[in-house]
Amino acid sequence: MDSEQSQHETVPSILASEITIQEIEKHMALCHPQEGCGILFGGMGQSGWRIDGFEPCRNMSREPGRSFQLDPAVWIKHSFSPRLLGIVHSHPVSAAAPSPEDMKQLQSFGAMIRVYVIVSSQKNSSNLSAYTVELVEQGVYALRKCALLRMA
Ligand SMILES: [Zn+2]
């Protein structure tokens, strides 16, 4: 009975191409021990959001070891692209979960993105968490954890 019930629970999933994940992991490893960041491209697939492109951004934060700020020139260049899907950044020394600062920042661009990915880049092993961006009330955005499925 329990296993049957859990099968009926729908965990939303986000698809990502293996090549794109490798590009993201490579960039985050290069930025380590600072936070790396970048823009995700893609669109809506048959079963949900699908990530199939990544463009690294310079981290313009004054404290890049503990926060990130996307290079505004790169962000502006892509902000009206129909393929803009989301953003990704890394946590060099902590888990792939959003920090209070991440949630604060999200409010300023939550309207423009659908997907949010965090990479924990500690100890050469990368661990990715994917979230959808949800409008919970007017002007307030939250992140909903999803399963990240890799595809060829
Ligand atoms: Zn963060």
pLDDT for residue 16 = 97
Domains of the chain: 13-151 (3.40.140.10)
pLDDT (tens digit per residue) in 81-118: 999 999 999 999 999 999 999 999 999 999 999 999 99
CA of 101 to the centre of ligand 1 (A): 7
Q: What percent of the chain has pLDDT over 70?
A: 92
CA of 7 to the centre of ligand 1 (A): 32
In angstroms, how far is CA 115 from the centroid of its own chain? 6
CA of 4 to the centre of ligand 1 (A): 36
pTM of the model: 0.91
Asked whether residue 5 carries a pLDDT value surpassing 50, the answer given is no
Beta bridge partners of 131: 116, 145
Asked whether residue 4 carries a pLDDT value surpassing 90, the answer given is no
CA of 30 to the centre of ligand 1 (A): 17
pLDDT for residue 12 = 87
